[in-house]
Amino acid sequence: MKAGYMLPKHYVTVMSKHPKLKKALEDLGQVLREEGPLDEKTAQLIQMAAAAGIRSEGSVHSHAKRALAAGATPEEVRHALFLLVTTIGFPTVMAALSWVNDIFKKKK
């Protein structure tokens, strides 16, 4: 899967106009991933869950794609979201599940 495919179109558009900002954000993300023991799959599932919590559809799409590319199964992606019901609420989780289902449909 190409890395650009995983990024929301709006992000790509904005970052193409601000390459220094894009590089700084990418470098920060890399450093943060290297700072701890979590593997890429786990990191992407956590970021997807955070994106669900702030109701960011594009970010949920992006991190779900990245989690799948890092080896997560659709069941793991769904479970990561189901775990949020008691934290962010049933309606928010249902919205996030509909967004990851968009990704699963495109993958088929």
Please report which confidence band the pLDDT of residue 5 belongs to, taking 50, 70 and 90 as the band edges. low
What radius of gyration, in Å, describes the C-alpha atoms of the chain? 14
**C-alpha span between 27 and 42 (Å, rounded):** 19
Q: What are the chain's domains?
A: 3-107 (1.20.1290.10)
User: Treating both helix axes as pointing N-terminal to C-terminal, what angle do 90-107 and 74-82 enclose, rounded to 10 degrees?
Assistant: 170
20-38 pLDDT, tens digit per residue, is 999 999 999 999 999 999 9
Exposure of 103 in the CB half-sphere (CA atoms within 13 A): 28
The 10s digit of each residue's pLDDT in 51-90 is 999 999 999 999 999 999 999 999 999 999 999 999 999 9
pLDDT in tens, 87-98: 999 999 999 999
- Please give the structure tokens belonging to residue 65: 């794609």
pLDDT at residue 1 tops 50: no
